[in-house]
Amino acid sequence: MPYSSLSDIQTRLENGETTAVAVAQTYLDRIAAHNDALNAFVHIDTEHVLAQAKASDAHRAEHGARPLEGLPIAVKDIFCTQDGPTQCCSKILKDFHAPYDAHVITKLKEAGAVLVGKTNMDEFAMGSSTETSAFGPCRNPWNTDCIPGGSSGGSAAAVAAALTPAALGTDTGGSIRQPAAVTGITGLKPTYGRVSRRGIIAFASSLDQAGPMTRTVKDAAMITAAIAGHDPADATSVADAPMPDWLAACDAQSMQGMKIGKPKEYFVDGMDADVRAAVEAALKQCEALGAEIVDISLPHTDKAVAAYYVIAPSEASANLSRYDSVRYGHRCDDPEDLLDMYTRSRDEGFGSEVKRRILTGAFALSSGYYDAYYLKAQQVRTLIQRDFIEAFKQVDVIATPTSPVPAFKLGEKTDDPLTMYLSDIFTIAVNLAGLPGLSQPCGFSGGLPVGLQWIGPAWREDLILSAAAAYESATDWSKQTPEQFSPAGGDA
């Protein structure tokens, strides 16, 4: 059971073979047994989880099942939840309790999901390794000396080790797809505007998007269908976005005649040889399934990381100015005056990566430098968007590696922010262009999972879901489980 997909658990619940309470208990037992080794969850309220499961069983009996009835879903500590703390894994939000649920949390509750707890993440979602968390680093279930990716590393590790069958993450520059890739699970970043950002602690508002992290492609579609949709309270959520039937797209499982773009800029010297080989082999397999592989170019790809690391910190410096210790958050002891209170509280509350982003962003936005940095970065962003528009005139979807390297060792890149930033070299352009992107497992490098990334035109999650589902059913990469966390003893 623990390594079952959401849709398998759903079938068993529907057939009366199990109950939401029994399912919840299975995962609570897994969490109790394995969370110390992984540090994937930073908050669990066992009683509350069981109470939700009990209420779900009662709902099923009295009114029938809702789309996610009784299914356990963990959420990154970036989502505001009325129940329990919401700390964004930062000292500055220590013990903060949100007064309302994020829109996506409300949607999950309305769909009948059982919320399992809060997962570990890089502080304020800034990072690629879940090492900047105020709760300590999270570890990769495939090798606990390695990072689980970031910033949604806790969600990824929790799904990969079956401490939950599914989780929510957020993705500003790769934070759903990159951890999904390095832990061997599936992660989908929807089109920007598809999912409301209300109640998601803001990092870079023009890039942030929430999405599912799951064992299968169909599970990702199920959760996306539940959380997507217009929210009048978020001006960036789009009102009349097309909403195709994503579950049907997964069931179609056909690649016959599909044109898959292979961008030359994503297969470069310096990337891990086994990652490259695994992705090349995946594309060969897609060809055997009836797809046509088309060599394409996205010429401004090499400018994406630089543009992102101007735009994202600029937006972060504005968003994080709200942490002034006046209304909420950490406040220093015995401030001398107002300025001392602001500066000391922020100095004590924020970690060094967050400070680096605030300083970079404030500098890029300052008068005299705005044109040279921020404006320039926005112009580059337009060029990157145009690259994709041109490419999608030739192909239906694009396939690339998700990350240039498999999971690296804890501590390996913490002293070198630039090398850390390059972890997202293949995911960032997708955020800058606002497109949907999905990562799914496609092989191993040195015993560590490798991710295949699918990129689609705006609003065409259905295309990448159907390509990914076809690939998934033709291979068994998504069925692999990390040995150290395989079900043993009585918890199967």
Contact stretch for ligand GLN (CB under 6 A) within 120-128, 192-200, 248-256, 471-479: 120-128
Could you write out the DSSP letters of every residue in 321-372? Answer: GG--SSSSS---SS-SSHHHHHHHHHHHHS-HHHHHHHHHHHHHHSTTTTII
CB of 116 to ligand GLN, least distance (A): 21
- Kindly state the smallest distance separating residue 65's Cβ from ligand GLN, in Å: 33
- Provide the minimum distance between the beta carbon of 357 and ligand GLN in the complex, in angstroms, as a whole number: 8
**C-alpha to C-alpha distance for 106 and 85, rounded to whole angstroms:** 16
CB-wise, 10 or 86, nearer to ligand GLN?
86
**How many Å is the Cα radius of gyration of the chain?**
21
| 345 belongs to the catalytic site | no
Annotated catalytic, 403? no
The reply to whether 174 sits near ligand GLN by the rule CB under 6 A is: yes
Return d(Cα 127, Cα 65) in angstroms, integer.
Answer: 38
Instruction: Select from 122-130, 157-165, 214-222, 255-263 the region that touches ligand GLN (CB under 6 A).
Output: 122-130
Distances 108 to 31, 152, 260 between C-alpha atoms, Å: 21, 18, 33
Token pair belonging to 398:
């694009």
Residue 429 binds ligand GLN (CB under 6 A):
no
173 touching ligand GLN, by CB under 6 A: yes
Task: Return the SS3 of 397.
Answer: strand
Among 175, 186, 439, 453, binds ligand GLN (CB under 6 A): 175
Could you say which of 312, 380, 450, 465 contacts ligand GLN (CB under 6 A)? 312
Q: How far apart are CA 484 and CA 187, in angstroms?
A: 22
Backbone CA torsion sign across 267, 269, 275, 276: positive
Instruction: Looking at residues 49 to 88 of the shown chain, list those that interact with ligand GLN (rule: CB under 6 A).
Output: none
- With respect to ligand GLN, which residue has the nearer C-beta, 403 or 478? 403
The only residue of 2, 112, 127, 404 in contact with ligand GLN, by rule CB under 6 A: 127
Two structure tokens written together for 402: 């998700």
Shortest Cβ distance from residue 169 to ligand GLN (Å)?
9
Verify binding: residue 315, ligand GLN, rule CB under 6 A. Answer: no
Instruction: Give the active site residue among 133, 175, 325, 423.
Output: 175
Does residue 345 have a cis bond before it (omega within 30 degrees)?
no
Cα 143–Cα 122–Cα 438 angle in degrees, nearest 5 = 70
- Residues 6 or more apart from 136 whose CB is under 8 A from it? 39
Q: Does 171 bind ligand GLN (CB under 6 A)?
A: yes
Name the minimum Å distance from CB 356 to ligand GLN. 10
Of the candidate spans 25-33, 124-132, 263-271, 362-370, the one that interacts with ligand GLN by CB under 6 A turns out to be 124-132
Q: How far is the CB of 63 from ligand GLN (least distance, A)?
A: 38
In degrees and rounded to multiples of 5, residue 140 shows phi and psi of -85, 125
Q: Is 151 in the site for ligand GLN (CB under 6 A)?
A: yes
Quote the CA–CA distance of 323 and 203 in Å, as a whole number. Answer: 13
265, 424, 461, 462: which one contacts ligand GLN (CB under 6 A)? 424
Among 19, 128, 209, 466, binds ligand GLN (CB under 6 A): 128
Residue choice 74, 115, 126, 200 for contact with ligand GLN (CB under 6 A): 126
Give yes or no: 206 in active site. Answer: no
Burial 426-465 (b: 16+ CB within 10 A, else e): bbbbbbbbbbbbbbbbbbbbeebbbbbbbbbbbbbbbbbb
Kindly state the smallest distance separating residue 307's Cβ from ligand GLN, in Å. Answer: 12
C-beta of 231 vs 353, nearer to ligand GLN: 353
Which residue ranges make up the site for ligand GLN (CB under 6 A)?
A: 125-128, 151, 171-175, 203, 312, 424
